[in-house]
């Protein structure tokens, strides 16, 4: 089996990429201060990553327990 090297260096983000991630983080933090939920973040996340589904989980550090979860996408829950 041939020895294949894998590049483990960190990806380089250009200014445009950094701005896109900064926008996502800003939207996420705005959602934390609004009672409307995470829908605006998920819309931006879906558009940026061309994602069909995703989610956010809140996990406590010690003991590790799920505090909350919020998901979006296909298939819709019912």
Which residues share a beta bridge with 66? 59
Using the 8-state DSSP alphabet, how is residue 75 labeled? S
Phi-psi region of 76 (alpha: psi -120 to 50; beta: other; left: phi over 0): beta
Give the closest residue to 27 by CA, choosing from 46, 10, 52: 46
pLDDT at residue 55, as a whole number? 83
Kindly report, residue by residue over 35-70, the tens digit of the pLDDT.
888 889 989 998 999 988 888 888 999 899 988 888
Domain ranges of the chain: 16-73
How many CA atoms lie less than 13 Å away from 30 in the CB half-sphere? 11
pLDDT of residue 13: 78
pTM above 0.85, yes or no: no
């Amino acid at each position: 089996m041939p020895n294949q090297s894998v590049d483990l260096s960190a990806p380089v983000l250009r200014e445009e990429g950094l701005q896109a991630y900064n926008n996502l983080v800003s939207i996420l933090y705005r959602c934390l201060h609004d009672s409307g939920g995470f829908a605006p973040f998920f819309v931006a996340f879906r558009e940026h990553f061309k994602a069909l589904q995703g989610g956010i989980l809140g996990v406590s550090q010690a003991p590790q327990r799920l505090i909350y979860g919020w998901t979006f996408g296909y298939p819709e829950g019912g």
